[in-house]
């Protein structure tokens, strides 16, 4: 074994220490961008998906689109068998028409012919009262001369009282016919009409809900049910991937949190060779720190806390797909403010 002089050993150790320090410094400088430089983040595309279902139960009559189809907002995607909904609507409209006629009858009051009939009934009762009074007078005269019996006299009194009561009843009926219906009855008829109107609206809405309408533009990812199937309300029929908006989810560490702000424009690049960069805008920065997700963590960053950021991506050609890796480059805040004409 060759023994080196002490001075030489010290010199070699110092050189090794300088090289190690230089390597660590270079690694730190390359791994961490300067505070006034561009901030580079890694993220993934998030495309929102919607499970489309009917609001009412029924049998699927037709499906207008298949998987992979591009749809627009307001497009009819599927329809249920509408015969039951149409029957319910006709029934509700008939009941509504009946309530309308009943209210009109009450508001108009009794017809002149009905009032005339009540008046004739009063006149008839008056004639019966007059005849009963004459019969009572004859029975009383016969009783005084001993030509009649007490029973005949009592029967005449009872007949007169009965006819007078009937006359009073006919007169009260005539007054009711002339006064018309009570205000409370008319209000009740109005309430019944409002109830029937609401039933018609419900039936019309159920008939309209028998069509499954696309809520926004998108692409059909999957068709879960087929024609002829019986589905319940809320049971998924299609899974729709929305075209807009398209988000890119990324995470920023606490030291770099001050270098981005909501509304800041960023550049987005995918891993596809030759793909052009896209524009984006910071839409949301979480106010709560969280651990680095398992999908992006490393051994060194296993316990690091980061903040979730959502970038609104510009995707006019629809090339971005769910989960696609993206590289986000944000210019410094000071430069962004300078380019925008100063702080707002």
Query: In angstroms, rounded to a whole number, what is the distance separating the alpha carbons of residues 132 and 155?
Result: 10
State the DSSP string of 136-187: HHHHHHHHHTTSS-HHHHHHHHHHHHHHHHHHHHHHHHHHHHHH-S-HHHHH
CB 153 within 8 A of CB 139: yes
Six-digit token string for 321: 């797909």
Strand 230-231 versus strand 58-63 pairing type: antiparallel
The tokens for 342 are 């100063």
Where does the chain have alpha helices with state H? 6-31, 83-108, 112-144, 150-179, 183-208, 333-339
CA 41 to chain centroid? 37
3-state secondary structure of 78: strand
DSSP single-letter state for residue 2: P
Identical fold at 34-47+242-339 and 50-81+209-239? no
Fold of 50-81+209-239: OB fold (Dihydrolipoamide Acetyltransferase, E2P) (2.40.50)
Q: What CATH superfamily is the domain 34-47+242-339? A: Efflux pump adaptor protein, beta barrel domain (2.40.30.170)
pLDDT tens across the length of the chain (344 residues):
445 566 666 666 666 555 555 554 444 444 444 455 788 998 998 878 899 999 999 999 999 999 989 999 999 999 999 999 999 999 999 999 999 999 988 887 777 787 888 888 888 888 888 888 888 888 888 877 877 788 888 888 898 889 889 988 888 888 877 777 788 888 899 999 999 999 999 999 999 999 999 998 888 999 999 999 999 999 999 999 887 788 899 998 888 888 888 999 999 988 888 888 889 999 889 888 887 665 554 445 545 778 999 999 888 777 888 788 999 998 765 444 444 444 44
Residue positions counted in the chain:
344
Tokens 């029975």 sit on residue: 139
Q: Which residues pair with 329 in a beta bridge?
A: 40, 267
Domain boundaries, the chain: 34-47+242-339, 50-81+209-239, 88-204
């Amino acid at each position: 074994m060759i023994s080196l002089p002490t001075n030489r050993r010290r010199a070699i150790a110092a050189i090794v220490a300088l090289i190690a320090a230089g390597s660590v410094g270079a690694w730190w400088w390359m791994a961490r961008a300067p505070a006034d430089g561009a901030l580079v983040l890694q993220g993934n595309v998030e495309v929102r998906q919607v499970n489309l279902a009917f609001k009412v139960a029924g049998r699927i009559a037709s499906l207008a689109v298949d998987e992979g189809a591009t749809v627009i907002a307001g497009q009819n995607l599927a329809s249920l068998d509408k015969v039951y909904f149409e029957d319910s609507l006709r029934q509700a409209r008939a009941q509504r028409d009946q309530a309308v006629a009943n209210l009109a009858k009450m508001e108009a009051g009794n017809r002149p012919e009905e009032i005339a009939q009540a008046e004739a009934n009063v006149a008839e009762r008056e004639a019966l009262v007059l005849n009963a009074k004459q019969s009572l007078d004859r029975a009383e005269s016969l009783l005084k001369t001993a030509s009649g019996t007490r029973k005949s006299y009592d029967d005449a009194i009872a007949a007169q009282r009965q006819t007078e009561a009937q006359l009073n009843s006919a007169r009260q009926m005539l007054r009711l016919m002339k006064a018309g219906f009570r205000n409370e009855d008319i209000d009740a008829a109005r309430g019944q009409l409002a109830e029937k109107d609401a039933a018609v609206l419900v039936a019309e809405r159920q008939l309209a809900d028998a069509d499954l309408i696309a809520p926004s533009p998108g692409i059909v990812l999957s068709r879960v049910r087929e024609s002829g199937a019986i589905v319940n309300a809320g049971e998924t029929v299609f899974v729709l991937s929305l075209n807009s908006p398209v988000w890119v989810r990324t995470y920023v560490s606490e030291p770099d949190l001050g270098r981005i702000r909501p509304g800041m424009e960023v550049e987005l690049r995918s891993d596809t060779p030759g793909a052009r960069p896209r524009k984006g805008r910071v839409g949301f920065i979480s106010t709560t720190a969280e651990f680095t997700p398992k999908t992006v963590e490393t051994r060194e960053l296993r316990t690091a806390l980061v903040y979730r950021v959502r970038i609104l991506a510009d995707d006019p050609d629809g090339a971005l797909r769910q989960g696609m890796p993206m590289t986000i480059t944000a210019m410094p805040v000071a430069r962004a403010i300078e380019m925008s004409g100063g702080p707002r």
